[in-house]
Chain A
């Protein structure tokens, strides 16, 4: 019998289904390498906390709740990851204060849910909803940049 996985963070109501449905998203690939930009080297737990759960974003979250922006809230409850190192390098070149380090690691189906959420500047952008008992900095432990 397949084990039921639970998410590490208490996701907003209907998430991630609301995001999948609203944007017609597909699951990303598992068992392949992904890249994460980090402010610390090596990355610590804080480098992976989604915006939705940060105290400083509570007003932003409350405003989105007022506007019933379920898919936006759900996206905020995930951590951004990228399929290519080039996309990660372009982002840290453009946004100098977002983090200077790039780490990579392989995400499996046992680690969490990956959704393909490309943007124009980073077509390899994905959203990662991590499962309970998974330590993200154990996944993203291989430094690739600088």
Chain B
């Protein structure tokens, strides 16, 4: 099962895949922006996370393919500390009360499973089921242009928030 979440970075809503969870401890990845988010510590009101933006996307993909360790990703990344407050949990804010030099970095372990293969398999299954999903839409908007002879159909499905919207252009 692949778990997803949304977080807020620099006021932007970002979709992430949850790679690890254990109680409140999590590891998340934003593949589009080559960024890994790693829980680091917790206090009464907030958590500290590492935001690891990979400078070499292939290293991050190799990590997600279970081919390289997390320290290989960290060593080839821009790393910053973020604060995640319990009363605004989606939002990641830069945390400057702790120096990166002071933190205990992880062991160079691999992920444990080939996440990219799992994700690709999941997306293939989803694509297979796009057609039946689109046949039972929540809403359908028709925009017709008589002069150009174009018909634009926007189909919004209620079945899956991530994959539920597709646009069809018909001449």
Where the two chains meet, the residues of A that have a C-beta atom closer than 8 Å to any C-beta of B are: 23, 37, 50-51, 56-60, 63, 76, 79-80, 82, 87, 90-91, 93-98, 118-123, 125
- In the complex, are the beta carbons of B89 and A80 less than 8 A apart? no
Contacts of A95 in B (CB 8 A): 22, 25, 38-40, 106
A residues in contact with B104, CB < 8 Å: 96-97
Question: Distance (Å) between the CB of B46 and the closest chain A CB?
Answer: 9
Query: Is residue B75 within 8 Å, beta carbon to beta carbon, of the partner chain?
Result: no
The interface residues of chain B lying within 8 Å CB-to-CB of A121 are: 19-20, 27, 111-113
- Known contacts A120-B115, A121-B112, A37 near B106 by CB under 8 Å: no
Residues in A whose Cβ lies below 8 Å from that of B170: none
Is B18 interfacial (CB-CB < 8 Å)?
yes
B111: chain A residues at CB < 8 Å are 120-121
State how many angstroms separate the Cβ of A112 from the closest Cβ of chain B. Answer: 16
Total residues of chain B contacting the partner, CB 8 A: 36
Residues in chain A near residue B113, CB distance under 8 A: 120-121, 123
Give the complex CA separation of A91 and B104 in angstroms: 14
Q: For chain B, what secondary structure do more than half of its interface residues adopt (helix, strand, loop), or is it mixed?
A: mixed
Q: Is the CB of A94 within 8 A of B38?
A: yes
Interface string of B28-39 (1 = CB under 8 A from A): 000000000011
Q: Decide if A80 touches B22 in the complex (CB within 8 Å).
A: yes
12 A–B pairs (Cβ distance < 8 Å), ordered by A? A56-B43, A59-B87, A60-B87, A91-B22, A91-B25, A96-B105, A97-B40, A98-B22, A120-B2, A120-B19, A120-B118, A123-B113
Q: Are A119 and B18 in contact (CB under 8 A)?
A: yes
Give complex CA distance A84, B16 in Å: 26
Instruction: Compute how far the CA of A55 lies from the CA of B104 in the bound complex, rounded to whole angstroms.
Output: 27
Chain B residues contacting A37 (CB-CB under 8 Å) are 22
Decide: A23 near B109, CB < 8 A? Known: A60-B86, A94-B27, A121-B27.
no
A75: shortest Cβ distance to chain B, in Å? 8
A98 closest partner in B (C-beta): B25
List chain A residues, Cβ under 8 A from B22. Answer: 37, 80, 82, 91, 95, 98, 119, 122, 125
Q: Is B143 an interface residue (CB 8 A)?
A: no
A63 with B1, Cβ < 8 A, contacts A95-B106, A121-B19 known: no
Residue of B whose beta carbon sits closest to that of A75: B21
**B141 interface contact, C-beta 8 A:** no
B44 and A94 contact, CB distance less than 8 A: no
Known: A56-B45, A57-B24, A120-B115. A93 touches B86 (CB 8 A): no
Q: Tell me the B47-94 residues at the A interface (CB within 8 Å).
A: 70, 85-89
Is the Cβ of B20 less than 8 Å from the Cβ of A94? yes
Nearest Cβ distance between residue B69 and chain A, in whole angstroms? 10
Smallest CB–CB gap between B138 and chain A, Å? 18
